[in-house]
Structures are given as structure tokens and as C-alpha cells.
Chain A
Amino acid sequence: MRGSALPAVCATLILAACMSTSLQADQPARITGSTPESRAELQRAVSEALHVSEVNLADDALRHSSWLVIERSRVRSLENAPLSGRDLGRPERFQLVVADHRCVLVHERDGRRYELAGVACVTE
């Protein structure tokens, strides 16, 4: 059901993407504490940004760094090497920032912003 059952929160996220907070005012931040709800909120924001139903995230995502890096899931071949092994591309990156006392996830590639409701964060 990929892409066909976006949660209601996406509407909020889309609106959040239009927030006009200046990037210059952003302060890099980390998530403090982690609850199932906050992890779900982060999961929803990243999935929305990348148009996927789910992204496999660590439980401590964004707790140790303001940056979140997303790659293709990796699989090894018979030789157990990554199937590409010589990847010329770049991963997707997000940065968590504090903006107007809110935790906001910024997608580096397109600059779109996603407020993380119910997530606690502090500046780095």
C-alpha cells in the first residue's frame, strides 16, 4: 500500500513544509529522550519527505547528531559485497533544527521543512 495511505499527519506536515522560518535562525538540534510517539513522528516526517511508506530508522536517530543520513537499504551479493559497491551518488540528508522553539526537520536536498510535533529537542 505504498504511497496510498498517507497518515493524516501528512497534511500537517505539508503545511509545516511551507513554514517561513528563516534558515539563518535555525539552530542545529538533537532529540532529547525518545518515546514510541516521538519515534513514530520522526518516521512519519522522513517517510513523507521521501515519499515512502517506511524508512528503517534507529531508535536513537537524531539523539547524537543533528544530522540524519538515509541510504538505500543494503544487500550483499553472493560475494557478499554491496551489489553496487562503487556508488557514485549521495545519500539523503536531514537536519534537525530548533526554530521558533519548535523542532523542525529540514530536508537538505529541497529545503522542505517538517515540524516534529510532540518531539523534544535541544540545540547542539
Chain B
Amino acid sequence: MANFSTIHLAVPATSVRRMTTLALAAALLVLAGCGGGSSANGGNGNGSNGWTAGVFLPSASFAAQCVTPRGGNHPITGQPWPDVAGTRSDENNFLRSWSDETYLWYDEITDQDPALFSNSLAYFDELKSDETTASGAPKDKFHFTYDTDEWLQLSQSGVSAGYGAEWIIVSGEPPRKLVVAYTQPNSPAMQTGVDLARGAEVLSVDGADLVNGDDVDTLNAGLFPAEAGETHTFTVRDLGAANTRDITMVSTNVTATPVQNVTTLASSMGTVGYLVFNDHIATAEGGLKSGIEQLDAANVSELVVDVRYNGGGFLAIASQLAYMIAGDVPTAGRIFEAIEFNDQHPSTNPVTGQPLEPMPFFDTTVGISTLPAGQPLPTLDLQRVFMLTGPNTCSASESIMNSLRGVGVEVIQIGSTTCGKPYGFYPTDNCGTTYFTIQFRGVNDQGFGDYTDGFSPENTTSGFVGEAIPGCSVADDFEHALGDPLERRLQAAIGFLETGSCPAPSGVANPGFNKVSAPLSVTDGLITRTPWRENRITLVPDQPQ
């Protein structure tokens, strides 16, 4: 029986359907890969059809053979879906063969008869490694599916329905705590009379008690509006306030500002630049370029990059920022990140069919934002950088750290352990479900990419320490604004660069899977973002994954 006293983000254990960002090219490739023909039962058919452990037919021979073929057209290409009538065995066999071909740890999958599974999602859940990392965490934390129709939804870069208040769940168990992590400029959250700011706590939504109540539907509907134009009321307590207040917000299509709080601070070591980088969306290219130009003009000699809430995105953006930090000398001719597939594909990308080419450090704009391609990027030419991190620091954000370390730039980590995601996917549709299975690993110029337990400041004492790097373990601090010199992590960074010493360690070591229930001042939380209605609070069993 599920424990219904806890709220989590909505992530059912086996049938979770999620969505991600993927370029059109990948979608086209997915389609090409799914260009199925007639059924190919036999060979690695299943059960009575002749399943033999360890024997696999090409996944293409099972692709797009569906229990329920789709009509209509692919929403991106406009071409008809390739689906033809098939069986559950066909769908399962596709997954089995595709996993054997492309899963990074294909040789750690326990080959099971696909005929034994009447649900392809359940079968897919079996098609992964059951190994654990040194911390005891699952080696594969990123194995999931999403409904293809929803996954293919498109938005203007950074635009989503909401209020412009980025919520963070500090405690998912009663008494729950959900606060504002940061806000987007020119959003409903910033309007006069609303004036939400970091650290403000949400106590109720449309009359539903968030702290101890169980009206999750009302909470979700209010916190994560599905579209613009919805009106919801909230009872909030501002940071430091004794009393609560009621506010009403109307959701709009909010445009995210991924680079914020670009500023400088004085220190005994010279001028320190600081910027908040929250999202590797396409429009971040312009924000980062102008931000670094601003800091370059201010002659900063040190830099603090705040990626505590940055879960990644376009890898090219990460490459650009790494270049702008390090400059030409250490990056020229070096690898930002190379991707490695399983040992069946040492030199060719099995999805694109192209030779594996590492990503360099991009020194110009690359034409993915509102800026034209080919504009030179500014550089700070720093030999070290301070990165403010937490459990929401993930993927491409970790690539910045790893790539800089790979070319000899010192990365000093202030905060909590990062999420540990040196991996990537080519999300692949089959029969209306898009499957995400880890297919490649990113490594730096030194060939290092083994940080599945995340990067941890070396003085971390709480829980398991991931890849330890110099720095200070410091919990998030919702009692100060981002960029405030008194904000705990920024303060620790300045202190470290001036004295080389850290405050007493306080950061969280177990990224993403910890349940925290502690005062705001001594913990980290899980950021929630609202571009899509899946990112919700819900009542689910205690162990969501």
C-alpha cells in the first residue's frame, strides 16, 4: 500500500512518461530508424516464436510494428507515421534489439524472454544495468519513457506557461516546505503586489494546505498551470516575515532569462565576477556572451559561476562558456567533450552513422540563438573558476566542470554534490512511446568521464563523496538572494579565494535522491520547473524510483 503521506514530483516507478529537448535532426533519425517494414518474427522472436538468449536480430526488423499503429503524420516532418500492425512481441523485440545495439552497458542487461511481458514499458524497465556505483546508488539512474506526442511539443526557446517563480521543494514530507528559488524578470511573480522573491514560502494554493494537506490535484493545478491565463491564489510567507499574505497570480507565457545577476564583487584578490547561469537553453548563448563581455570590461581576475539550478541542455552552450572562462591558450585544439558509445561502436555513432568527432571548445557563436553564427566570443583567460553547485547541477553543467579540468583549468566547487550525469541519449520513438536509454558517455580531453556519483567538494562529510575536487561543501541558502555577498555559497567562494579555507561542511552529498526535511538554512532542495504539466507534486509511493 502506498504511503500517501508524502508528496514527491510525479515520477511513477515503471510507467513514467517524460519529455526532453531534442533537435529535429534526432527526431528525423528516430523516424529513419523506425522505418519499419513487415514483421520479422523468428530469430530473436520470442518464447514460442523462437527466442534464444543472446541472439539478436537488428532492431530495424521490428521497428514500427505496433499493437496499435498510429494514424496521421509525424508532427515535425509531416510524413505519415511508419507504423504497421504488429504484436506485443514485435514491440518488445524492438526494445530488446535496440538496447543490445545501443545501450551503453548492453552487456549488463539480463536477457529475458520478451514473450513473458505483456507490457512493453515493464519490459523496457528490465533492459538496463542493475549494477550500483561505489555509493550504492543505481548505476543507471536515467532510464525512462515518454509519450511521443507530448515529447514532440515545441516552444519558443525558454517560453513556458507559469508565473516566473521557480519553486524548490525543500521538504517533500509533512510538514512540507516549498519555497521560491529564484524568479524570472518581467513575470507575474515580479509584478507589483505579488513581489515574490527567493526564500518566500508557499503555504497554500487555492485554499489547499501545502504544508500538511493532501489535496494534491489542487496544489498541482495551481503551482504548475497548464497554460497561460489561469488565475490562482496563494498564501505565502516572505523571507523573514512574521505574517503571511495572500497573492493572486495569472499565468502567462513566461520567457526565461537563463543568465542573471551578472555583477562584480571586491575581494582582497581583486575583482571577482559573478553570474547565475540557470539553463542551457538556446537563448543562453546571448546572455552568456554579453555577461562575459561585461565581466571582461570590469577586468575581473576571478569568476564565480552559479550553476546550482542548472540541469543542462545544449552541450554547445556549455562548450562556449568553458571557452569564455579559459580562453584560447588552454583550449586551442583540445577536446571539450568526446562521446563514447558501447564497445560495439568505437568509431561510429550508431544512431547517426557518422564518425565520432569530439566537440571542441567553441570560440564563436554557433547560430543556435538570436545571434548570428561566427561572432567571436569574449574570454576571461582565467586559470581557475569557482562553480556554485548543488544536486540540481547536472549533465551539461557538469561538462563545463569536467572539460575545464581536462585542459588544466582549476575548478573549485562550492556547494553540494552534483547530480552525476555524464551520459546522454538519442530519444527514440517506437509505436507512440519515446524511449530514453543511456547510449553514450561524455569524456573530457583527458578521457575522464567517470562521475556517476557527481562531483563533490573535497571536504564533503555528508553521505557518499563523489568525484572529489577542491572546494567547500556548503548547503544552499534560501535566506539570501543569489548574488548577495552574504549568500552562503557565494560568501564561501569569496572566503576560499581570499584565504584558501572553508566554513564547516554543510552540503548535501546524495544528489537528487535524498529526502530532505530540515530548516531552510541547512539543506538543499530539489528545483521544480514548470514548462510542462508533468513536473508536479503528487502522492506517490515512498520510493519513487
Residues of A within 8 A of B (CB): 2-4, 50-53, 55-61, 65-93, 109
Contacts and interface: CB of A to CB of B under 8 A. Distances in A.
A76 B527 contact: yes
Nearest to B394: A81
Nearest to B393: A81
Given A56-B160, A57-B253, 11 more contacts: A66-B370, A70-B157, A72-B152, A73-B155, A75-B146, A78-B513, A84-B313, A84-B436, A85-B312, A85-B396, A88-B339
B427 A71 contact: no
B421 A86 contact: yes
Interface string B502-513: 000000000111
Given A69-B370, A73-B160, A86 B424 contact: yes
- Say which size band chain B's interface belongs to: 35 or more
A84 B424 contact: yes
A7 to B, nearest CB: 15
Contact of A73 (B19, B72, B74): B19
Contact of A57 (B22, B24, B159): B159
Given A83-B18, A92-B24, A74 B421 contact: no
Contacts of A55: 154-156
Nearest to B24: A92
Interface string B43-84: 000000000000000000000000000001111111000000
B160 A85 contact: no
B156 A78 contact: no
Contact of B23 (A66, A67, A90): A90
A59 B252 contact: yes
Which 5 residue pairs of A and B lie closest in terms of their CB atoms, listed nearest first? A89-B23, A85-B395, A81-B311, A83-B20, A85-B312
Contacts of A3: 72-73, 75, 78
Interface string B173-210: 00000000000000000000000000000000000000
B430 interface: no
B505 to A, nearest CB: 22
A79 B391 contact: yes
B424 A88 contact: yes
B264 interface: no
Given A70-B156, A73-B532, A89 B26 contact: yes
Interface in B126-153: 141-142, 144, 146, 149, 151-153
B75 to A, nearest CB: 5
Contacts of A77: 11, 18, 142, 144
14 contacts: A51-B76, A65-B370, A74-B531, A74-B532, A77-B142, A79-B311, A80-B392, A83-B21, A84-B427, A84-B436, A86-B396, A86-B421, A89-B22, A90-B24
Interface in B317-371: 339, 359, 367-371
Residue of A52, A90, A92, A109 contacting most chain B CB atoms (<10 Å): A90
A58 B311 contact: no
B156 A58 contact: yes
Contacts of A79: 141, 311, 391-392, 394, 419, 421, 511-513, 526
Contact of B535 (A50, A72, A76, A89): A76
A69 B283 contact: yes
B232 interface: no
B535 A84 contact: no
A4 B73 CA distance: 9
B545 A78 contact: yes
Given A67-B370, A75-B531, A87 B154 contact: no
Interface of B: 8-9, 11, 18-26, 72-78, 141-142, 144, 146, 149, 151-161, 252-253, 255, 280-283, 311-315, 339, 359, 367-371, 391-392, 394-396, 399, 419, 421, 423-425, 427, 436, 442, 511-513, 526-529, 531-532, 534-535, 544-545
B369 A69 contact: yes
A72 B313 CA distance: 11
Nearest to A108: B367
B545 A4 contact: no
A82 B425 CA distance: 12
A57 B156 contact: yes
Nearest to A1: B72
A4 B74 CA distance: 11
A65 B511 CA distance: 38
B154 A50 contact: yes
Contact of A2 (B75, B146, B255, B531): B75
A48 B339 CA distance: 35
B311 A52 contact: no
Contacts of B535: 75-76, 80
A88 B26 CA distance: 9
Given A71-B155, A75-B534, A90 B25 contact: yes
Contact of B281 (A65, A66, A71, A89): A71
A89 B21 CA distance: 9
Contact of B21 (A56, A59, A84): A84
A74 B156 CA distance: 11
A78 to B, nearest CB: 4
Contacts of A53: 75
A86 B314 CA distance: 6
Given A55-B154, A71-B155, A82-B395, A87 B421 contact: no
Contact of B151 (A69, A72, A81): A72
Nearest to A59: B253
Contacts of B156: 55-58, 61, 68-71
A78 B436 contact: no
Contacts of A75: 18-20, 146, 531-532, 534-535
Nearest to A4: B72
Nearest to B349: A88
